Structure formats: structure tokens, C-alpha cells
């Protein structure tokens, strides 16, 4: 029987963690603080830059196409930046924050110079307080959730163009689950076909068209990983987390305070009350947010 409360929820981020290593999946997606009962998260300048720029651009979809360019995007960016300013955004000094803020301003300026498809009709996937989601498999009680940055409506073909805003410097890797997941979300939550997908690298102002996976392959690939996540959680429930969510390579040792890698170490430090981590507040999904002290 389907039940959203007992279902296993998977996303691009959680499956990405699982693929990196099961221990990282556990630390980022399952571990809860004994004190607050909250999950834990690390804030970083890169993440905050992404949040601020995405909020400005995605917010444009709330306005009619012909009014979007009348918005003062620079002012909106300044306002949005206040939400990530300082330690709560992962910035440990003013110089670092200014550097990232400047990069964000440049991205907004690029958008103002050439807004591309942002002035065309777009659609939004339905959602409530949670990210967009649907049953990837009712039989296995697995829900897939995620947010698609922008969906341009293509009137000539009555179809959709998925656009992903990129605020980082690195190009999306081949084999990434991001597009398959977006495609599945679009297919499940609205009726039009997706015929095009692109990444917009905002810093270099470069649009890169991506090859769309076919739906069947997308579903098969995503479900295969989601099932592995579900199975790992099942074993952990039965035999304990230490049986399944383990490091395949040089685990962190809380006694010597050594080992681990850049992905898991900050989480291990939080769990072990290491003074290298600093609590900076509660995040939007009720998680305890930390920064790495410099």
C-alpha cells in the first residue's frame, strides 16, 4: 500500500551522496542530532551563491512573461543576498563574501544583458511545501522529488524545454542523474512532452544543449539506484547503520581524528563535537546548519 510517510524519498542530491558512498548518504540524509532531533547540513559559499542566484531567477516565473524584464533583478539580488550573508551563508570573512557576491552580481548582469528565453512563456510544476514529487514506484513505495529550475514552453511543438541554471564553474558530468530525474518529474507532473534540455552556465553566460535521455531508460536507471538506497535502509533498520552505511575507503577515526575525505569529514566532525565545526542556525528544511571554521 502506498504511504507517503513510510515511503523512501529519493532525490538527485541523496542518490548522488549514495553513489559517492553509503556512509556519506547516511551522514547527510539520515543522521539526526541526539540533541535537536534535526538532520545536519554544511553551508558553504558556493551553495549560498547558488541559492541566491536561483531564487532571483526562478522567482521570475511568478510574473507574466511580458512583465519579467520590468523587474529590478539587481535590487532583488541584493535583497536575496541578505538571507545568505555572513556565517549563516558559510562566509567566514567579509572579503570571501564580497568575492562570491560579486560573482553573483556578474551572473545577474549577464542575465539582464541577454535574458534569452526568460521572456517566453514558461510553466511551473505543481508542488506544495515540499519539492515537486511523485511515486517513482508504488510497488516499492519510493517517491522521487526534486525541483526543475525553469521550464520554457515551446509553442511550435506544444512541448517543453528544461533549463538548469548553473552557478558553479564545472560542467555537469556525463551520466549524471539530474536530467533523467527532471525528465521523470516533468512527465509525471504535467501533460506536455519534453523535447529539449539545456544547461545555462551563468558565469560564462554559455548555453549548452544536453542530450535528452529516453523516458524508459531514465526510469530504469533512476529506479535501480533508488532500489539500492531502499535496500540499504532496510538492512540498516534490521542490523544497524554500521552494517551497511560504511566507508569503502579509509574511514574517519574519531579517536585519532584522522581519515575520511573532504565529503564526509565535516559531518564526522559534527557528530563528534569537533571544534572545527560551528553551528550557525536552523535551515529551511529544519536541519541544523554548520560551517567549517577557518
Interface residue list for ligand SF4 (CB under 6 A):
20-21, 23-24, 247-251, 260-261, 263-264
**Cell output for 197:** 534540455
Sheet order of strands, 40-42 included: 40-42, 288-292, 277-282
Q: How far is the CB of 84 from ligand SF4 (least distance, A)?
A: 25
Nearer to ligand SF4, 138 or 258 (CB): 258
d(CA 266, CA 261): 9
Nearer to ligand SF4, 182 or 245 (CB): 245
List beta partners, residue 288: 40, 282
- Report residue 134: phi and psi, to 5°: -160, 165
With H, G, I as helix, E, B as strand and everything else as coil, classify residue 146: strand
Q: How far is the CB of 43 from ligand SF4 (least distance, A)?
A: 18
Q: How far is the CB of 267 from ligand SF4 (least distance, A)?
A: 8
Q: How far is the CB of 239 from ligand SF4 (least distance, A)?
A: 18
With H, G, I as helix, E, B as strand and everything else as coil, classify residue 86: helix
d(CA 57, CA 201): 13
> How far, rounded to the nearest angstrom, does the alpha carbon of residue 5 sit from its chain's CA centroid?
21
Nearer to ligand SF4, 164 or 268 (CB): 268
Q: How far is the CB of 9 from ligand SF4 (least distance, A)?
A: 21
Between the CA of residue 34 and those of 19, 238, 245, 272, what are the distances in Å? 26, 20, 18, 12
- Report residue 262: phi and psi, to 5°: -60, -25
Nearer to ligand SF4, 44 or 187 (CB): 44
Nearer to ligand SF4, 28 or 68 (CB): 28
E strand or H helix at 233, and its extent?
helix 215-239
Q: How far is the CB of 41 from ligand SF4 (least distance, A)?
A: 15
**At which residue does the C-alpha cell 541566491 appear?**
52
Nearer to ligand SF4, 10 or 24 (CB): 24
Amino acid at each position: 500500500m502506498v504511504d507517503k510517510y513510510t515511503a523512501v524519498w529519493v532525490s538527485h542530491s541523496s542518490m548522488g551522496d549514495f553513489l559517492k558512498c553509503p556512509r556519506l548518504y547516511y551522514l547527510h540524509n539520515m543522521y539526526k542530532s541526539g540533541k535537536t532531533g534535526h538532520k545536519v547540513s554544511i553551508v558553504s559559499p558556493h551553495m549560498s551563491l547558488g541559492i541566491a542566484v536561483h531564487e532571483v531567477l526562478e522567482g521570475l516565473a511568478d510574473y507574466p512573461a511580458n512583465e519579467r524584464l520590468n523587474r529590478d533583478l539587481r535590487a532583488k539580488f541584493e535583497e536575496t543576498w541578505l538571507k545568505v550573508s555572513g556565517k549563516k551563508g558559510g562566509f567566514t570573512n567579509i572579503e570571501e563574501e564580497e568575492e562570491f557576491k560579486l560573482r553573483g552580481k556578474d551572473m545577474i548582469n549577464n542575465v539582464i544583458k541577454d535574458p534569452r528565453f526568460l521572456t517566453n512563456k514558461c510553466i511551473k510544476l505543481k508542488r506544495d511545501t515540499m519539492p515537486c514529487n511523485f511515486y517513482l514506484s508504488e510497488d516499492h513505495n519510493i517517491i522521487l522529488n526534486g525541483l526543475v529550475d525553469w521550464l520554457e514552453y515551446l509553442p511550435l511543438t506544444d512541448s517543453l524545454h528544461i533549463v538548469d541554471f548553473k552557478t558553479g564553474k564545472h560542467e555537469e558530468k556525463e551520466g549524471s542523474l539530474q536530467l533523467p530525474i527532471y525528465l521523470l518529474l516533468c512527465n509525471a507532473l504535467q501533460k506536455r512532452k519534453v523535447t529539449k534540455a539545456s544547461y545555462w552556465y551563468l558565469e560564462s553566460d554559455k548555453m549548452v544543449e544536453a542530450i535528452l535521455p529516453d523516458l524508459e531508460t531514465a526510469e530504469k536507471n533512476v529506479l535501480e539506484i533508488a532500489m539500492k538506497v531502499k535496500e540499504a535502509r532496510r538492512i540498516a533498520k534490521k542490523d544497524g547503520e554500521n552494517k551497511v552505511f560504511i566507508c569503502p575507503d579509509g574511514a574517519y577515526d574519531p579517536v585519532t581524528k584522522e581519515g575520511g575525505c573532504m565529503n564526509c569529514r565535516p559531518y564526522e566532525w559534527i557528530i563528534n563535537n569537533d571544534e572545527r565545526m560551528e553551528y550557525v542556525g536552523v535551515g529551511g528544511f529544519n536541519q541544523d546548519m554548520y560551517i567549517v571554521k577557518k
